[in-house]
Amino acid sequence: MQLNFKMSELTHSDTAVKHNINNMPDINSMDCMLDLIFYCLQPLRDKIGKPFDISSGYRNSQVNKLVGGVSNSQHTKGQAVDFTIRGMSVEAAINTIKNAGVEYDQLINEYGRWIHISFVKGKNRKQILKY
């Protein structure tokens, strides 16, 4: 099995770097991030066959507040990631993901600019939203 995602990509935050904040996930968040990669991101990446550019994955509560995330954001639990797919519009990517047969909790078109996807093992609601 080939993995296209790294924990370092999912923990990187320009905001954390800028404010000198250590955005290292706690152990429970790491478990969630592994599930997110293994059951959701990588299967999608394998089906779609194009690079995913991740803009935000894990955010500790301090980083999350600075970027204006909602306080109970799934990003703070390691359950969500924001990304775009190279060579695809957000709309096209959402449509493809919808029909990919891969499990997710929430799939959100955020302002037509990026895709937010989350995964919660055993509790996926399969919600599709648009902001």
* Number of CB atoms found within 10 A of residue 98's CB: 13
Sheet holding 127-130, edge to edge: 52-56, 80-85, 114-118, 106-110, 127-130
**Site pattern 26..55 for Zn ion (x: CB under 5 A):** ------------------------------
Kindly tell me which of 2 and 115 has the beta carbon lying closer to Zn ion: 115
Q: Is 77 one of the binding residues for Zn ion (CB under 5 A)?
A: no
Q: Is 82 one of the binding residues for Zn ion (CB under 5 A)?
A: yes
* Candidate ranges 1-9, 35-43, 44-52, 74-82; the one touching Zn ion (CB under 5 A): 74-82
Residue 12: phi and psi, rounded to 5, are -65, 140
Cα-based angle 61, 8, 38 (whole degrees, multiple of 5)? 95
Cβ atoms 89, 42 nearer than 8 A? no
Question: Which residue number places its CB atom closest to Zn ion?
Answer: 116
> Which member of 29, 104, 116, 119 binds Zn ion (CB under 5 A)?
116
Strand 127-130 and strand 106-110: the pairing is parallel
Kindly tell me which of 42 and 118 has the beta carbon lying closer to Zn ion: 118
Cβ atoms 60, 83 nearer than 8 A? no
Q: Is 59 one of the binding residues for Zn ion (CB under 5 A)?
A: no
* Candidate ranges 3-11, 37-45, 86-94, 110-118; the one touching Zn ion (CB under 5 A): 110-118
What residue ranges bind Zn ion (CB under 5 A)?
A: 82, 116
